[in-house]
Structure formats: C-alpha cells, structure tokens
Chain A
Amino acid sequence: MRTLTHIAAMTALLATPAAALDIQSHTTPGGIGYWLVEEPAIPMVALEITFEGGARLDPAGQEGAANYVAALLDEGAGDLDAVGFAEARDAISARFGFSAGRDSFSVSARMLSESANETAALLATALAEPRFDADPMARVRGQILSSLAEAKTNPSTLARDAWFARAFAEGHPYASPVAGSEESVEALTREALLAAHGRLLTRANVTVGVVGDVDAATASALIDTVLAGLPEGEPVPPAPVAEAPPAGVQVVELSVPQSAAIFGHAGLRRDDPDFFPAFVMNYILGGGDFSSRLMEEVREKRGLAYGVYSYLSVLDGAALHLGSVQTVNARMAESLDVIRGEWARLRDEGIDEDALERAKRYLTGAFALRFDSNAKIAGYLVFMQREDLGIDYYERRNSLVEAVTVEDVNRVAAKLLDPDALSIVVVGQPVGL
C-alpha cells in the first residue's frame, strides 16, 4: 500500500503536455503543402509521403496491383535496372520503403542530411519512372505468390482475411486482402501495373511530412525534386461506405493446435463527436495491454491466451471496432464467452471515476512516447494532415482526452458495444463452436 500512496502523489504532476514540437507549415515553390519539424540532433532526414487511394483503387480482378507496384518501385527506374538502382541507393546510404495500405500508398525515405539532394533525385526516378522490367516483375511476383500461399496456413493472417471477406460485400475493395489473391496476382500484366502506377501516384492526392536536420528552404527543394515527375491527377473519389458486418461465428478449418479469432462490429469515425470517449472506452476494454479488462480476464485470471486486444479501426469507408485472440483449440469457445461477457459488462455497467482517471493518465502520458524518432514524428505529421486535424492538434490532443467524462464513456459504451452484433471468424479446430 505504501507504494501506491507514493505513486498517487506522483501522478499529480503528470498533466504535462507532450514534448514541445515546433511544427511548421510550408508550401514548396512547386505548390506542394507540407509540414516540417526541424531536428538537428542527428545528421539525417525522415521524409514521409502518402498518396490517398491505395489498394482500394485496385480494379475488380486486379486486386493486389497497388501492393505489387509498391514492391517494384525500388526494382529499377529511369536509366537504372534493379541492380543499378540498389547500387545507387546504397552508394548514398539512403533507405526507401514503399507500401500499399487499404486507403493509401506510402513512401518512407530516410537519408543522411549530407546526401539529401542525391537521395531526392534517386527517389524521384523511383516514383516517376519505374521500369517494371520483366525479370524483377517475375521475381517479385514469385515472392508475393509465395507469401499469399503461406498465408493460407497462417491462422492469424487467414482469420483477418476471412473476417474482411465476410464483413464486406463481394466487390467492395475491403473484401479482399491488400496483397490480392493468387489468381488476381497471377493475372496482373505490365500494362496493369503501369495503369496502377499512374492511378496511385498523383500530386493531387499527396500529403508530406519532413523531420530532421533540414531547414524549410532545403526541405521545399527536396520535396519538389521528389515529386517533380508525377502527374497532377484528380483527387480520388471517397471510398464506398459499407454496411455493418454480419453477426455470428464462422469457423475456418485448419489443422493447428491453437485457433486464431478476429471479432468486431461497427465502430466510430474519427470526426464523430464521440470518438474520444470511444477511444478511452476501448483503452479500458482491450486497448491497454496489461491494464485492459480483456487481458485481465482472458490472460491474467484464466491463462487462456498469450495476448488479447481490441482496437478502433478507422478506414475511409468503414469505422470498425475490432479485436483478436489466439487460444488452444479446446478453450477457444471459453475465450470468446469471456470476451462477449466483457463486452456486455462494459455496456451494461459502464466504468467508474477511478478507471477513467487511470486511462487518462496512461493515454496522456504515453502520447509523448510515440515520438521518440524522426521517422515516427514524420508519420504523425502526415496523419494529422490527412485527417484534417489542424496544426495545433498535437498540442490539443491531450486536452481532448482529459475532457472525456465517465458519463461520456458510459453513454458511448451503451451505444457502441453489442456482444450479439459481433462478427467472429475463428481459424483452427476450435471445440464447441
């Protein structure tokens, strides 16, 4: 008890804001708006570029095109073949990452500040002039097909894919995995990839964040260099809005000792006035690692799983409240009963002031922990711009958490949580389901 008193005294200090982050808003001479944080401590620059659209722009029958393009952007561009490109990148010690998400296509670059100009020039060719040569196309297609084949026996991947396939009507872009299917990837031609590239990477859909050892004039020049070769394009249309996922349990048979489950139902959009109460509510339910109710009941009290989580997933066309658990086949039914029970308990009984205070202390205190690298800060600059949260959001964010009341959480829990509406997919050989 002595320890707890001591700790309670310490927490009074905690309402400190997150680290001061001097976020600047600029527009390049070429007309690209971006946010910048100057951080001279390490001689490097992190550049984060996101294009709206991503895999949801893949046409029917061409699922996986965006993912395939992402895997090929560093496999030859301009005058350089795949090996030439890798040598040029290594010669300036730059690091590039390209990835397709459900709603966006992301480019992450890290560069030494001394070779930033050369890095920008090389990245520009990757974005604007990818070659899609036959050899790397065949090799990368083989890698994608191999991972798709493997995913068919990975219970957690399979559960996630099956959940989305069940939750979204056939033809909705979220119904298929970002990487597509073996059939769709087999069918993707060079022409299809060129078309996807033209569709995905356009200046009208770009958001940029820069963090590091760089000033605004230099950052502007770097961005203009990187994006110079891209077409203006049109803003992508909004994602089709989906119906609520169907309730009930679907079992996918797989010969493994431990089943994997994904469960979820409708959540809230980020611009919903109840989003922050829902965010705090989910922390208490299943978002807070060892402090969450799901972890307490499923893992700590019963030893049913190594981990159990829930989270709010906000896609452009769907707001979801999702969760996952992996439990030995014989006890999966018990795990799901416990989870449904916690869903109902929070809906029916709500929370008390103490639980809210602990949640707020974690959520406000841990906010600063997210920003311990230039790369993470750059990612957050892009997130804030894409969600249109305002340049002062970083400073306001903790006060939005602080403003949540017990009544808010209980009202949102009663509205949002519905154990009977949970759509559940279990992969494995669960007993009694």
Chain B
Amino acid sequence: MILRSAAAALALTASTFAAAEPAITTFTLDNGLQAVVIEDHRAPVVTHMVWYPIGSADEPAGKSGIAHFLEHLMFKGTDEIPEGAFSKIIAANGGTDNAFTSYDYTGYFQRIAADRLGLVMKMEADRMRDLVITDALADTERDVVLEERNQRVDNNPGSLLGEQMNAMLYRNHRYGVPIVGWQHEIESLTRDDAMDFYARHYAPDNAYLIVAGDVTPEEVERLAIEHYGPLEAAGRPPEVRPQEPPSLTPRRIALEDERVRQPYIVRYYLAPTRGTGDTETAAALSVLAQILGDGITSRFAQAMEAGDKTAISTGAWYSAKSRDPSSFGIYAVPGAEVELATVEAGLDAVLATLKEEGPTEAELARVKRLMRAAMIYAQDSQSSLARRYGSGLVIGLSVEDIQNWPAMIEAVTAEDVRQAARTYLTLERSVTGWLERKETEEEQG
C-alpha cells in the first residue's frame, strides 16, 4: 500500500521542486567581484561568504599548506582591525565566523543578524587587501596548524592512508599534496610566504560574494558597492595548473599500523568532474556512486552486506565539484574473519556486472528521486544553499550551470552510467589501498 501511494507522490515531487527554488539574484561589481544573493526570509539572519577560487592545488612547490596557513592568518588583523580582534568583533555583534580551505578554494564566512550585514562586509573587504601579520603571530599560528595536522591526520591511520593514496593517484597534479600540507613543509612556512600568496591571489576580481538570508538583492548590492567597490582589481590571469599524464598502471599500497583495529580496502579512480567541462559524464558518475554505494539497496550492500555477508559496510563517493579531474572512490569493510582480498574481489565482481549490464530502470529512478528530494531538504539549511553556489562558482561553473545540475541528473540514462563505469572505473586509473593492523611483537610472541 505504501508503495502505491508513493508512486502518486513521485509525480507531484517534480513540480513541487520547481516551485520551491529560492529566489537567486546575481550582480558583478566594476572591479570584477561576482555576487550571488539567495533570499531566505524565514529568520532575520544572514550568511555572508567570500570564496576565493584558490586552494592548496595552487600552491608553489615546496610550500604545501600555505593556502591553509594563510586562511588561519586572515583572522589576525588588518590596518583597521586590531590584532586578534576580528572574530571577537563578530562575536560581540552576536555573530559567528569561520573559514575553510580545500584543493580548489578558500572561503570565509559569518552568520549574523541581518542588520549587521554592512559590518561583516566592511570587515571582510578590509582583509581582502589590507591584512597585517607579524613574524611572531605567524610563528605561533604555525604551531596551531601543526596541532591541527596532528589531530586530523597523524593521530588517525585511515587519514594517513588517504594521504598516501592521493600522493600516488596524482602523479603531476597538486591534488596529490594534502590540503593541510606535509609536516616538514608546514614547519618551514614563514610570514613572508603567506603574504606573497595573499598578495598574489586575494583580490575582488578573484573572489565570489555569496549572501544568503533575510536580505533584498538591492540592499546587498548597495552594501557591496560601498564596501567591496573601492577595492582595486588585480587583473591577473587565472593560474594554469599542471595536469595529469595518461594513467597506464594500476597502483597498490598497504598501510600497516598497530593502531588499526578495523582493516578495510579503499580504491580511488581518477575521474573527470564538473569543472573539467564534461558535465554529462559527471552527472552519470554521480548517479553511479549512488547506485553502487548508497544504503542497503545499493549494489555493493546488496552483494556483500545482505548477500554473501563478507562486508559489514560498503560505499562509494565522487567529488563532482572539482576544477580538475578528481577521484571516484569505493570501499569495503570486511566482517570478522574475512580477508581484505575477499572483499576486494567482491567489489570487483559488482563492478564487472554493472559494466556489463548497466543499472536497472528502477535503480535509476530511485537515485533520481532521492537526488530531487535532497534538493528540497537542502533548502532547509541556509548555509548549505550558500555553499552550493560558492563551491560551484569557484570551479568555474556559472549560476546557470549550478541550477541546471538537477536537470543534468534527470537526463542520465542507464547506458550513460554503464559507459561511465566502463570508461573511468578501470584499474589503470586507480590506486587501491589496504589498511591493516600491524601486529606488535607482544601479540606475535
């Protein structure tokens, strides 16, 4: 009975989706700053974000971690904002702030009462060009970053494996270098390194402004002209990044660590993305990731969790929103007493079948329905709406591209998915990693 009524619900969902899109407005300032305004009038709050299309993949060789180090230093002060006061001023106005760094971008944001938008714009505009950093500040903050690396990576064998696998997947592209940086290179980063990177990349014509919340586009534009308008454009052409050579050989790696209690196998495939312009393939790969790895009805779970019960957990993911070719990942966690080789063979068997037969129409329909619903649920979070636009613009997508994505997903056929799997999920394009427990002498004895 439930299934029958659900079919009726499905027909309605598509129309509701179209009606429910939030109001989006765009404008560009004379100095090149591009802005997107997302209206959300449910509460008198605003999310204000500035995204620079510059991330760890744009770092000079030998300076890994500089994009992220600079992100930390951006909170230290400007010619107008006293040392250490940036976040305190935001907090004293009832707001919260933070920032994030990735391979392709660095972003800064505040969430605050809507009547404070002018204040946070003034402060964000100020630190776009007028950052002030002392050597002493940089020295202390470098220690903070090293602790962050310890916490995120070195304390966790799974993170170490991922770092090693990326270094093998990308032979020429900077996606192979960790965002936080290699420890020995972080240790040598200086204040001048950060200021050079800042001067080179932070400018209004290399930035995107995203404002979501209880605002009008007219008011946002007026404030943006007032605060960001006076900043001078840098006029630099976009950086050209080294690209990957053809992938000819499968790579394998095993990380043994005595801290490991749960072994697993994970594989990365080099795959095109939305940023590389092959949007049809990116849409097909997005659908493929869901069919393979989303929930108990997915292919991997059906075969290995519910089926032969060799795995207790399986999954797949795909970084569609990357500027350059990036990774499609799969993993399996074996049950007790099951070998890693067994679950690796299980993953490969599922892939072989899918490459041969493609997905069923029912699988395709399920995934598309869930992706449609996800768009509606995403509107419940102002921050995630803002992130959807920011993370698209920084990899070179237009607002239209971003809004078109659901239609691209709708257009994916079973044959598209099959072809994407056959073309891109090949061992030659992959790195396979095993995480294993290293037996200590005591245990062996």
Contact = CB atoms under 8 A, between A and B. Distances in A.
Interface of A: 1-4, 6-7, 10-11, 13-14, 16, 19, 39, 41-44, 46, 75, 82-83, 86-88, 90-93, 95, 110, 112, 114-115, 117-118, 121-122, 135, 138-139, 142-143, 145-147, 149-150, 152-155, 254-258, 260, 288-291, 296, 299-306, 326-328, 358, 361-369, 371-375
Given A83-B296, A92-B9, A93-B13, A255 B312 contact: no
B16 to A, nearest CB: 5
Point out which of A10, A14, A93, A138 has the most chain B C-beta atoms below 10 A from its C-beta.
A93
Given A83-B296, A110-B377, A375-B380, A327 B93 contact: no
Q: Which 5 pairs show the lowest CB-CB distances between chains A and B?
A: A365-B94, A303-B143, A93-B373, A91-B6, A290-B87
Point out which of B3, B40, B91 has the most chain A C-beta atoms below 10 A from its C-beta.
B91
Interface in B87-123: 87-89, 91-96, 111-113, 115-116, 119, 122-123
Given A257-B154, A327-B147, A91 B2 contact: yes
A112 B259 contact: no
A299 B76 CA distance: 13
A289 B111 CA distance: 14
Interface in B280-321: 295-297, 302, 305-306, 309, 312-313
B140 interface: yes
Interface stretch (B77-85, B269-277, B347-355): B77-85
A366 B94 contact: yes
Interface in B125-155: 126, 139-148, 150-151, 154-155
Contacts of B154: 256-258
A54 to B, nearest CB: 25
Contact of A4 (B3, B85, B96, B335): B85
A150 B370 contact: no
Interface stretch (B41-49, B165-173, B186-194, B236-244): B41-49
Interface in B1-29: 2-3, 5-7, 9-10, 12-13, 16, 19-20
Contact of B155 (A13, A19, A257, A366): A257
Given A114-B16, A300-B84, A373-B381, A155 B312 contact: no
Contacts of A143: 312-313
B376 interface: yes
A301 B312 contact: no
A142 B42 contact: no
B383 interface: yes
B75 interface: yes
Contacts of A299: 144
Contact of A373 (B5, B305, B306, B380): B380
B380 A303 contact: no
B260 interface: yes
A11 B92 CA distance: 8
A371 B145 CA distance: 32
A358 B92 contact: yes
A373 B45 CA distance: 12
A244 to B, nearest CB: 30
Nearest to B97: A290
Contact of B3 (A7, A91, A305): A91
A112 B9 contact: yes
A2 B80 contact: yes
Contact of A149 (B3, B80, B261): B261
Interface residues of B, number: 87
B206 interface: no
Given A7-B93, A139-B312, A258-B154, A302 B295 contact: no
Contact of B6 (A41, A92, A139): A92
B184 interface: no
B376 A43 contact: yes
Nearest to B1: A121
Contact of B151 (A7, A11, A114, A326): A326
A143 B143 CA distance: 36
Contacts of A255: 258-259
B9 A150 contact: no
Contact of B141 (A1, A142, A303, A328): A303
A110 B381 CA distance: 13
Given A86-B297, A93-B372, A149-B262, A121 B2 contact: yes
B379 interface: yes
Contacts of A142: 312, 335-336
Interface of B: 2-3, 5-7, 9-10, 12-13, 16, 19-20, 40-45, 75, 80-82, 84-85, 87-89, 91-96, 111-113, 115-116, 119, 122-123, 126, 139-148, 150-151, 154-157, 258-262, 295-297, 302, 305-306, 309, 312-313, 333, 335-336, 366, 369-370, 372-373, 376-377, 379-383
B93 A368 contact: no
A112 B144 CA distance: 44
A429 B140 CA distance: 23
A255 B336 CA distance: 24
A114 B9 CA distance: 6
B333 A146 contact: yes
Contact of B91 (A110, A154, A289, A306): A289
A114 B369 CA distance: 14
A90 B370 contact: yes
Contacts of B143: 302-304
A14 B93 contact: yes
B375 to A, nearest CB: 10
Contacts of B142: 303
Given A13-B115, A91-B6, A92-B9, A82 B296 contact: yes
Given A1-B82, A43-B20, A83-B297, 6 more contacts: A44-B380, A153-B157, A258-B150, A300-B140, A302-B143, A306-B147
Contact of B377 (A44, A91, A138): A44
A39 B42 contact: yes
B315 to A, nearest CB: 12
Contacts of A300: 84, 140
Contacts of A90: 295, 297, 366, 369-370
Nearest to A152: B261
Nearest to B89: A7
B259 A369 contact: no
Nearest to A95: B377
18 contacts: A3-B126, A10-B93, A16-B113, A83-B297, A83-B302, A86-B297, A88-B3, A91-B3, A91-B366, A92-B2, A93-B373, A115-B6, A139-B305, A147-B262, A302-B143, A305-B147, A361-B92, A366-B94
A86 B94 contact: no
B409 to A, nearest CB: 14
Contacts of B379: 42
A382 to B, nearest CB: 17
